[in-house]
Amino acid sequence: MGKPLISIVVPAHNEEGCLAELHRSVDRALGQTGYPFELIIVDDGSTDRTADVIAELCEEDSRVRGVHLTRNFGQQSALLAGLEEAAGQAVVTIDADLEQPPEAIRQMIRLWESGFQVVHGVRRDHPQISWFKRTTSRQFYRVFSFLSRIPMDPGMLDFKLLDRQVVDILLSMPETDFFLRGVAAWVGFKQARMPYAAGLRTAGKTKYSTRVMIAFAMRGITSFSTFPLRLATYLGMLMTLLSLGYGAYVGIRHFFWEHPQPGYASTILLISFLLGIQFLLIGMLGEYVGRIHVEVKRRPRYIVARRTATDQTESEPSDHQRPVEDQRLPL
Going by pLDDT thresholds of 50, 70 and 90, the confidence category of residue 316 is very low
* 31-65 tens-digit pLDDT: 878 889 999 999 988 888 888 899 989 888 889 99
* DSSP for residue 190: S
Percent of the chain clearing pLDDT 70 (strictly above): 60
* Residue 209 pLDDT exceeds 90: no
* Residue 153 pLDDT exceeds 60: yes
Ranked by mean pLDDT, which of 129-138, 171-180, 194-203, 286-295 comes out on top? 171-180
Phi, psi of 47 (to 5 degrees): -110, 0
Q: How far apart are CA 330 and CA 113, in angstroms?
A: 26
* 223-246 tens-digit pLDDT: 666 666 666 667 767 766 676 676
* Residue 264 pLDDT exceeds 80: no
Going by pLDDT thresholds of 50, 70 and 90, the confidence category of residue 216 is low
Q: Higher-confidence residue: 127 or 95?
A: 95
Q: Return the closest-CA partner of residue 23 out of 64, 59, 55, 62.
A: 64
* Residue 207 pLDDT exceeds 60: no
Going by pLDDT thresholds of 50, 70 and 90, the confidence category of residue 8 is very high
Going by pLDDT thresholds of 50, 70 and 90, the confidence category of residue 314 is very low
What is the reported pTM?
Answer: 0.66
Tell me the three state secondary structure of residue 176: coil
For the residues 19-33, what does the mean pLDDT come to?
88
Phi, psi of 115 (to 5 degrees): 120, -5
- Would you state the pLDDT for residue 164? 92
Q: How far apart are CA 138 and CA 120, in angstroms?
A: 16
Give the total residue count for the chain. 331
